[in-house]
Amino acid sequence: MHDATWPSPLTPSHTQPSTMSHSAPGKSSSKPLMVAIAIVIALYLAAAAMGWPQAATQMIVDAAAHGAHDAAHDAAHAADHAKPVPALWTVLPFALLLGCIAVLPLMHATEHWWESNLHRFYVAAGLGLITLAYYGLMYHQPIDRHFLGHAVIEPTGSAFETGTVWTVLQNAMFNEFIPFIMLLFALFTISGGIRIEGDLAARPGVNSAFLAVGALMASFIGTTGAAMLLIRPLIDTNNERKHIQHTLVFFIFIVCNCGGLLLPLGDPPLFLGYLSGVGFMWTLKLWPMWLFVNGCLIAIYYCWDRFYAYPREEKKDIRKDEASAGKLQFSGLWPNAVLLMGVVLAVALLDPSKSVPGTDWHPWLYLREVVLAGLIGLSLLLGSEKVREANKFNYVAIIEVAALFTGIFITMQPALQILNARGAELGINTPHKFFWATGILSSVLDNAPTYLVFFETAKALEMPADTIREAGVPDHFLVAIALGAVFMGSMTYIGNGPNFMVKSIAEGAGIKMPSFFGYMIFSFAVLLPVFLVMTFLFL
C-alpha cells in the first residue's frame, strides 16, 4: 500500500479506455466530487450532533485501556487455548489477486483487458467474495475484531455466520481501507494541482540535485506525489541529451521508492503501519538508513553521469542544452502547498486512538478522513483549473487503487489471521531475515500488503519481557520490515506504484526505457550492493 499521488501502487499506468482517459479534468468533472464532499461533511456533522463518532471514539479509548489486561490474559492462557485460524488454502484468493496485479499487465493477451478499472474491480471483488463466503459458510470459530478497539466475536452456530462476515468487513474496510484510500486520495488530488515546468542545463550536478530534492519530498508528499511533480521537469531538462535512460532508472530508485521512508505519508506500507498503531514520528528514527541509501545512490548516479554518460553526449547537443536552459516555474502552489501541510497535520494529530498532544481529547472517529475530504474540496474550489489541465489530471489512477485495494484488504484477512497466530513458526526471527524476506516479496508483489504480512509475523514472535516494542512489534524487527518494504519496492517495476508510472511517462516522451528484466539488471547491479552494506551497518 502499491503510490500518494499514488496513481497506482500496483500496476502500470497504460492509456485507459476512452470512456475514462479522456474525461475533462476541469471544473465539470470536479463538480460531482465537490457535491459528494459537501454531502459527506454534512452527514458527518449530523452524526456528530447525535454523538455517534464521539461514542465510537470512546469505545476505542476504553478498549485501549483494557488492552494490557487482555494481553496478559491471552498470554496466560495461550498454551491451553490455541488461537483458531482459517484453513491454509484461504490465502489463495490473496495470492491470486497479487498474481493478477503482477502478471496480467505484462501479458499481451490480457494487458488491454486489465487496463479497465471495471475489469480490475471484477477480479478484486470476485476474489474478495470468495473470502467472505468462506468466513460465512465454513469458518465457525471466534474471530478478533479490530475496529473500535479489540474484541473477540463468537460464532452463532448458524448456517451462515453473518456476524463473522461483518467482522471481517469491519477489519478490512472500516479499520484499514477507508483511512488508507482517503489519505491517498487527498495527496493525489492536492498534488495534482501543483505544476513544475522548465528546462535547466542537464549537467550531472543538476540531475543529482533533482534526485536529492525528490528523495526529501517523497517522505512528505508521498513517493508518487514527488514523482509526478518532478518527472516532467526532469525530462524537459534532459530533452536535448541522448543518454538519459540511467537518469530515469535512478529516479525510480530514489524518488519513487527509497526517498519515502521518513514519514507514514511517504509510502503506502508505512501508512498501513501507522493505521496499525505505529507512531507518526517513529519512522523519523530511520533517517540514518535513509541518508545512507539515498546518499549512496545519488553518489553512484553522479559518478555514472559525470564520468560515463555525460561525456558520451555529442557536443552539439550539449551546446543546444546550454543555450535553451532557463528557470523552473512553479504554479498552483497556492493553495495546494498549504493544503498539503494540512494533510500532514491531520494525519499526525487526528488519530482517534491517541489524544491530541497537550490535551486529553481524542479526535472523533473519522474526523481525520472528513478533514482530508474538506482539504480536497478546498483544493478543487480554490486551485487553478488550468494547472490541472496542464498536468492532464483525472481520477482514473486513484479509482484503480480503490478498485484493487478493495479486494486486497478483504482477501488478505485470512493471511493476517494465520500469521498472527502462527508467525513464530516460520523461522524468521532476526532483523536480517525480516529485511530480506519482506524485501524479496516487496520486489515481486506489492510492498503495502507485504509489510502487513510481516508486521503480523513479527508481532506473533515470543520475545523477552523487556523487549522494546512499537504497536506490539519488537522495535528492531519493525525497523527491518519498514526498510525492506520501502527500499526493495525499487527492485522491479511492480514493487511500487510510481515505478511503472514513471516508465510510462518517460516512454510517452520518447525515451527508451529498460524492459522488465532489463530494469532488474540495473537494480541487481546498483541496489543489491547498497542494501547488503546497509544491512551489515544498521541491522
Would you say residue 538 lies in a domain?
Answer: no
- For 78, the grid coordinates are 495461550
In this prediction, residues 456-465 reach a mean pLDDT of 89
> Does pLDDT of 26 surpass 50?
no
Contacts 24+ apart (CB under 8 A), 14-23: 14/105, 14/111, 14/112, 14/115, 14/504, 15/115, 16/115, 16/116, 16/117, 16/396, 17/115, 17/116, 20/116, 20/117, 20/394, 20/396, 20/399, 21/394, 21/396, 23/394, 23/395, 23/396
Q: Domain for residue 510, yes or no?
A: no
Q: Let me know if residue 499 belongs to a domain.
A: no
Give the residue with greater pLDDT, 449 vs 463.
463
Residue 82: what pLDDT?
66
406 pLDDT more than 60: yes
Question: Would you say 180 and 152 are in contact if contact means Cβ atoms under 8 Å apart?
Answer: no
Query: 534 or 6: whose pLDDT is higher?
Result: 534
Tell me whether residue 469 is in a domain. Answer: no
Give the DSSP H/E element, type plus range, for residue 196: strand 195-197
CB 461 within 8 A of CB 454: no
Does any domain span residue 114?
Answer: yes
pLDDT higher than threshold 60 for residue 8: no
- Residue 13 — pLDDT band, cuts 50, 70, 90? very low
pLDDT for residue 494: 74
The answer to whether the CB of 435 falls within 8 A of the CB of 532 is: no
Residue 317, pLDDT above cutoff 80: yes
pTM value?
0.85
pLDDT average, residue stretch 57-84:
66
Per residue in 180-232, pLDDT (tens digit) is 899 888 988 998 899 988 789 999 999 999 999 999 999 998 897 898 889 88
Q: Render pLDDT for 381-397 as a digit per residue (tens, 0 to 9).
A: 999 999 999 888 888 87
Across 23-27, 88-92, 467-471, least confident range = 23-27
> Considering only 107-111, 123-127, 134-138, 472-476, which range has the smallest mean pLDDT?
107-111
Question: 151-153 and 143-145: which strand pairing?
Answer: antiparallel
Cell 497479487 belongs to 98
The reply to whether 132 falls in a domain is yes
Give the whole-number percent of the chain exceeding pLDDT 70.
91
Q: In the prediction, which pLDDT does 303 show?
A: 98
Lowest mean pLDDT: which of 93-107, 231-245, 478-492?
93-107
Q: 67: pLDDT confidence band, cut at 50, 70 and 90?
A: low
Domain of 92 in residue numbering reads as: 18-411
Asked if the structure places residue 520 within a domain, the reply is no
Number of folded domains in the chain? Answer: 1
Cell of 289: 538508513
**Which pLDDT score is estimated for 449?**
80
Cell of 484: 525492506
Could you tell me if residue 65 is inside a domain?
yes
Strand partners, 145: 151
Distance CA 191, CA 169 (A): 31
Distance in angstroms between the alpha carbons of the first and the last residue of the chain: 24
Q: d(Cα 367, Cα 352) in Å, to the nearest integer?
A: 8
Q: Residue 53 pLDDT more than 50?
A: yes
